[in-house]
Amino acid sequence: MTENVLPQSSLDQLFLQARTFHYWQDKAVSDETLKQLYELMRWAPTSMNCNPVRIHFLRTVEAKERLYPALDEGNIRKVEGAPVTAIVAYDRRFHDQLPTLFPHIDARAKFVGNEPLIEDTAFRNGTLQGGYMILAARALGLDCGPLSGFDNDQVDRLFFAENDRHLRSNFLCNLGYGAVDQLKPRGARLAFETACRLL
């Protein structure tokens, strides 16, 4: 074991004992904690430092009620009970920020007018950043409940105003302090021998 490996308690918190939650304690998540979450996740790698993720943290009853028409029926209860629901989106104009984020070359020029490359890069890296968000949340003691099961187009119409039409929702993630007593037995995972090859 190398000196830089995290202690077992940290590995448990991030991965081994962490669970997906659908029921939540009646305990608020502070704005400061959400800011800390972003401050952690923003330093994780993306290609050409493109950082396309954009997150709307829905904290109020009114904000979450706006989301309900876009949700599959079974997800309404999950969002209703969560202290925070994050709309994890990606910016299809991320390349406008590249002169600041990646100033070594004219990276923006590579993307201008190339819609397939913009979409592919934004979606891949925005998804990657969504994963970082989950790990940052867990590192700060929060629990997570990622969700699909919603109408992306409707979410985009409801939350991304005319000036934000370049944003595209990717997935939702409830955040808070999970109700451990409501957990079901943990699902299986694939073994190394099934999922991996050493070449």
For the chain, the domain total comes to: 1
Q: What is the pTM of this model?
A: 0.95
What does R_g of the chain's alpha carbons equal in angstroms?
18
pLDDT, mean over the chain? 96
Q: How many CB atoms lie within 10 A of CB 28?
A: 12
Domain annotation covers residue 199: no
The Cα 108–Cα 181 span in angstroms is 49
**11: helix, strand or coil:** helix
H-state helical runs in the chain: 8-11, 31-41, 61-67, 73-81, 98-101, 107-111, 115-139, 152-159, 192-195
CATH number at residue 101: 3.40.109.10
What pLDDT is attached to residue 118?
98
Domain annotation covers residue 102: yes
The confidence band for 1, taking pLDDT boundaries of 50, 70 and 90, is low
Domain annotation covers residue 173: yes
Domain annotation covers residue 22: yes
Domain annotation covers residue 5: no
Range of the domain at 113: 11-179
